[in-house]
Chain A
Amino acid sequence: MQEIRYFDSAATTIMSRIALDVYQQVATTYIGNPSSLHAEGIRAKEKLEQARDNLAGLLSVPKGNLTFTAGASEANAIVFNSLVWRLQKPHVIISNIEHSSIKEYIRLMKQLGWKVTTLNAPGGFIKAEDLRKALTKQTRLVSLMLVNNVVGTIQDIQALVAEVRAYEQEQGGRKIHFHTDATQAFGKIPFSLETLGVDSAAFSAHKFHGPKGVGFLYNNDPAIENLSRGGGQEAGLRPGTENLPGIVSMVEAAKEAMVNVFDHEKHVMQINTLLRQRLSFLPSISPERSCSPYILNVATRPLPSEVFTRMLYDKGFCVSSGSACSNNAKQKREGVLDSMQITPSLAKSSIRISFSADTTTEETEALAEAITTLIQEHA
C-alpha cells in the first residue's frame, strides 16, 4: 500500500499514543456508570470529576463552567438551542464564515421568527465596526469563531467582546451572550478564555489528538439550557451517561497539547513558512498575518479543488478541498470563501493544507514538490 502523508489535521488529527493508552486503560478499569451508587460508579464519578478538575486547571477556569459533550457541534447546539425556548424572538449575530454547525442554525432561527444578522468577513476577518453597527436592543447572542476552519484566520475576539460589552453598558447593562467556536484554536494557538472575555466556547477533542465523539462546552451563563432532556448528568446541561474513557483521554490530550503549545506552534510555523515559500507561485488564500500556522489555504488554479485533492491523494497526500461549495458552476455557492469575497475562480480551486505537530519537514517538502509537479503538468 502507498504511504499516506496526512495534511488534513484541521479535519481531524491522529490520536496521540498517550491519549489512546489512557482511553484503553479507563475503558477497561473504570467499568461503572458515574451515576451508579455502588463503589464502581463512585470510582467512575471521581475519575470524571478529576478529569474536569484537570481541564479546569489547564484552562484556568472554574470547573463548574465546563460541560463535557459529544463534540463542538453539540456544544454549539446547546448554546443556540437555549434561545429556542425564549418567548421573545431575539436578535442573533453570527458571521458568514462560521462552521456549519452554527450556520445551519440560521435556517431554523429564521423559521422561528428570530432576526439574524450575518456579518461578512472580507479577507477572513470580522470588523469590530460591522459588529457594532449590527448590535440592536434585541440582540441576545453573538457567536463568532476564534480560528476559521477553512483559511485559518484568527479573529480578535477580545476586541469584539469589548464592543459588545461597551454596547451593553450603553443600553443599561442588559446581557448579550458572546459565544465562540474555538475548535481550531485549542492546543494550537495560545489563548485565555478569561482574557477573551467570552461567555461560552466550544471545543472538540479530535482536533487536538484526542478521541472522536467527545468535546466540551465552556459556559459561565446560567441562562443556557440543555439541548436534550434526561438523567441530569453534567449539572443537567448535557444529560446522558458520560463518555468516561473519551473524556479522560481528551483531557490527557489537552494536557499534552497545552504543555507543548509554544514548541508545537514554532515547529508548525516553520513548516508553514517553508510551504508558503515553496508554493509562492500559487495565490495564497490564507493571509500571512493573524492566521493560524496550522492551516494554509492556497489556490491551485486552473484545477478545481476537488480534482486536485484526488490527484494529490493518488500521490499519497491527504488534503481538503478548501471551499465548501460544489464545483458545479450551476449551483449557488454559499461557501466560506465566497463570503470572504474571494473571487469565484480562486475559491473553486482552493485547497486546505493543514498541519499538526507531527508533520515533518520531509513530508512538507514532498508535498510542495507534488503540488508543483501537478501544477506544471496542467498549466
Chain B
Amino acid sequence: MKNSTLYLLRLGEISLKGLNRDSFEKRLKQNIKQKLKGYRTQVNRQKGRIFFEISNECPKETVEMALGTTFGVVGYSRCLRCEKEITVIRETAKRLIADEPFNKGVGTFKSIAKRADKSFPMTSYEIDCSLGEVVHEMYPDMTVDVKHPKLTIHCEIRDQAYLYTTPKQGPGGLPVSTAGKGMLLLSGGIDSPVAAYRMAQRGLKMDCIYFHAYPYTSDQALEKVKTLASLIAPYLQGTRLHVVPFTEGQLWIKQHSREDETTLMFRAAMMHIANTISVSQEGSCIVTGEALSQVASQTLESMAFTDSMSDQLVLRPLVGMDKQEIMNLAMKIGTYETSILPYEDCCVLFSPKHPLVHPVKLVEQEHYRSMAIEPLLEEAIKNTEIVDFGANGVERK
C-alpha cells in the first residue's frame, strides 16, 4: 500500500487460544476496521502479531484512538518495514528514531532484535549492537541500559525486517462480540460505565438501558447518561441506549408498596424490563455496576431478590471491588468527570428513609406480584426510545 503507515499490534490472551484463535483474530480485525471505516486498510495476521496498514489520509490521532480503545490489543506501535539487509535496516532505523519518542535524544535505551527467520546471517545480539551504534551516532547523549531502559528499539526479522519503538499500551482483553451480547443497566453514576468496561474487556457486546423518570429526574440527567454512553461506546464497538420512560412505574410502586420496599421494587421492575428488552435484542445476560453492600439494594439478600426478576444471567463485574478502585478505573477510562455531575438519578421523593436491607426473597417476590405492575411496564417498554452510538462514540441520527 502506498502512502500508508504500518502498525504492529501485540495480542495478549488471544495468543493463548487454541483452535478457535482464528475467530478471535478475525473479530479483532473487524473491530479495528469498524472504527477506521472510510480509510484504506490492510491487515496481515502473523503468529501473535497483527500488522495493520492504514492510509495516511487517516490522522494519527484517529488511528491511536481506535487502537487504544479496541479490546484484544495489548500494545501497538508505529512500525517500519524494510528489506532483510543490515545496511537497509540501519537506514530504516535512522528514519524511525528521527521521530518520537527517540527524538528528544536523552535518557537510556536498549535494542531488542528477534529473528523469526533464523537464516538471517547476523545473530540477534549482532543486530542489537549494530542498531545501538545507529542510535549513538544520532543521539550521542543517550546511553544503553539493558535492564531498565526508558526507550526501546525493536527489530523483528520475519518475511521482511520490521522496526518499531516502545509500544503504546492497548486495553488488553478479548475482542468485543467474541463472548456474546448483554444488556447494561446504565444509571449515570460512577459504577455502571466501569462495569461496561470490565465486561467489554472480556469480549461482551452490550446495549445500555436507562430508566428516565421525568420530571422527577431532569433531562440533564438523561443528557449525562447519553454522554456516558458515548464515552463507553468506543470500548463497546458502538452501543444502543434504550431510554425507558419510568415515571409511571415509579409512581405506581410508590403508591402500591411499603415505603421501606420502594427501592427494591424499583430495582425489581428495572430488572424485569431489562430482561425483556435484552431478550428482544438477542442478548443473553444483564450487566450491572453493583458492588456488594454499597447501598441497601446491593446487599446479598437484595441482589438475590432482584436477580430472581431476570431469566438471564446477571453479571456484576464490580461486586468485589473497592469504591476507590472503581473510581480509579472510571478516571482511567474517562467517565469519572461526567459521572460526578450533580444530576440525580433518583428523586429524593422516592428514596425511603430506612430502606429494607435484608429482604426475604419469597416475601418480596410475593409483594412484587401483588402490585400487578406488569401492564405498566409493558407500556414503558413499548414507549422506549432508542439512541444509537457508533464505535467512534458519535450519536447516529
Roughly how many angstroms separate A326 CA and B218 CA in the complex, as a whole number?
13
Beyond A304-B348, A306-B344, A307-B347, 17 additional contacts (C-beta under 8 Å) are: A302-B349, A303-B349, A304-B349, A307-B216, A307-B349, A310-B214, A310-B215, A310-B218, A311-B215, A326-B342, A327-B344, A327-B347, A327-B348, A328-B342, A328-B344, A328-B348, A329-B351
Chain B CB within 8 A of A91 CB: no
> Which one of A310, A326, A329 has the highest number of Cβ atoms from chain B below 10 Å of its Cβ?
A310
B348 and A348 contact, CB distance less than 8 A: yes
Least CB distance from B331 to A in Å reads: 21
Chain B CB within 8 A of A314 CB: yes
Provide 15 A-B residue pairs closer than 8 Å at the C-beta atoms, listed in order of the A residue. Answer: A306-B218, A306-B344, A307-B215, A307-B347, A307-B349, A310-B214, A310-B215, A310-B218, A314-B215, A327-B344, A327-B347, A327-B348, A328-B348, A329-B348, A348-B348
Least CB distance from A236 to B in Å reads: 40
Least CB distance from A327 to B in Å reads: 5
Least CB distance from A140 to B in Å reads: 36
**Chain B contact patch, size range:** 10 to 19
Contact with A along B317-344 (1 / 0, CB 8 A): 0000000000000000000000000101
Roughly how many angstroms separate A302 CA and B214 CA in the complex, as a whole number?
17
Least CB distance from A177 to B in Å reads: 36
Closest to A302 in B: B349
Q: Which residues of B are at the interface with A, using a C-beta cutoff of 8 A?
A: 214-216, 218, 342, 344, 347-349, 351
Closest 10 CB pairs of A and B: A310-B215, A327-B348, A311-B215, A304-B348, A307-B216, A329-B348, A307-B215, A307-B347, A304-B349, A328-B344
Roughly how many angstroms separate A326 CA and B221 CA in the complex, as a whole number?
14
Within 8 A of B (CB), among A339-368: 348
Q: Which residues of chain A come closer than 8 Å to B351, judged between CB atoms? A: 329
Interface SS, B side: loop
Within 8 A of B (CB), among A285-326: 302-304, 306-307, 310-311, 314, 326
Closest to B251 in A: A378
> Which one of A303, A304, A307, A311 has the highest number of Cβ atoms from chain B below 10 Å of its Cβ?
A307
Q: Which residues of chain B come closer than 8 Å to A306, judged between CB atoms? A: 218, 344
Roughly how many angstroms separate A306 CA and B213 CA in the complex, as a whole number?
13
Roughly how many angstroms separate A328 CA and B216 CA in the complex, as a whole number?
13
Q: Which residues of chain A come closer than 8 Å to B349, judged between CB atoms? A: 302-304, 307
B218 and A304 contact, CB distance less than 8 A: no
Least CB distance from A137 to B in Å reads: 42
Q: Which residues of chain B come closer than 8 Å to A302, judged between CB atoms? A: 349
Roughly how many angstroms separate A314 CA and B216 CA in the complex, as a whole number?
12
Q: Which residues of chain B come closer than 8 Å to A310, judged between CB atoms? A: 214-215, 218
Roughly how many angstroms separate A306 CA and B215 CA in the complex, as a whole number?
9
Q: Which residues of chain A come closer than 8 Å to B344, judged between CB atoms? A: 306, 326-328
Q: Which residues of chain A come closer than 8 Å to B216, judged between CB atoms? A: 307
Roughly how many angstroms separate A327 CA and B345 CA in the complex, as a whole number?
11
Q: Which residues of chain A come closer than 8 Å to B214, judged between CB atoms? A: 310
Closest to B213 in A: A307
A304 and B347 contact, CB distance less than 8 A: yes
Roughly how many angstroms separate A354 CA and B214 CA in the complex, as a whole number?
25
Least CB distance from B212 to A in Å reads: 13
Least CB distance from A374 to B in Å reads: 10
Q: Which residues of chain B come closer than 8 Å to A304, judged between CB atoms? A: 347-349
Q: Which residues of chain A come closer than 8 Å to B218, judged between CB atoms? A: 306, 310
Q: Which residues of chain A come closer than 8 Å to B342, judged between CB atoms? A: 326, 328
Closest to A306 in B: B218
Roughly how many angstroms separate A329 CA and B351 CA in the complex, as a whole number?
9
Least CB distance from A225 to B in Å reads: 36
Least CB distance from A163 to B in Å reads: 39
Closest to A304 in B: B348
Q: Which residues of chain B come closer than 8 Å to A303, judged between CB atoms? A: 349
Roughly how many angstroms separate A302 CA and B349 CA in the complex, as a whole number?
7
Closest to A309 in B: B215
Roughly how many angstroms separate A329 CA and B346 CA in the complex, as a whole number?
11
Least CB distance from B341 to A in Å reads: 12
Least CB distance from B351 to A in Å reads: 7
Contact with B along A55-66 (1 / 0, CB 8 A): 000000000000
Roughly how many angstroms separate A67 CA and B342 CA in the complex, as a whole number?
37
Roughly how many angstroms separate A86 CA and B290 CA in the complex, as a whole number?
53
Contact with B along A246-275 (1 / 0, CB 8 A): 000000000000000000000000000000
Roughly how many angstroms separate A329 CA and B350 CA in the complex, as a whole number?
12
Roughly how many angstroms separate A348 CA and B351 CA in the complex, as a whole number?
14
Q: Which residues of chain B come closer than 8 Å to A307, judged between CB atoms? A: 215-216, 347, 349
Roughly how many angstroms separate A307 CA and B213 CA in the complex, as a whole number?
11
Roughly how many angstroms separate A326 CA and B348 CA in the complex, as a whole number?
10
Roughly how many angstroms separate A29 CA and B121 CA in the complex, as a whole number?
84
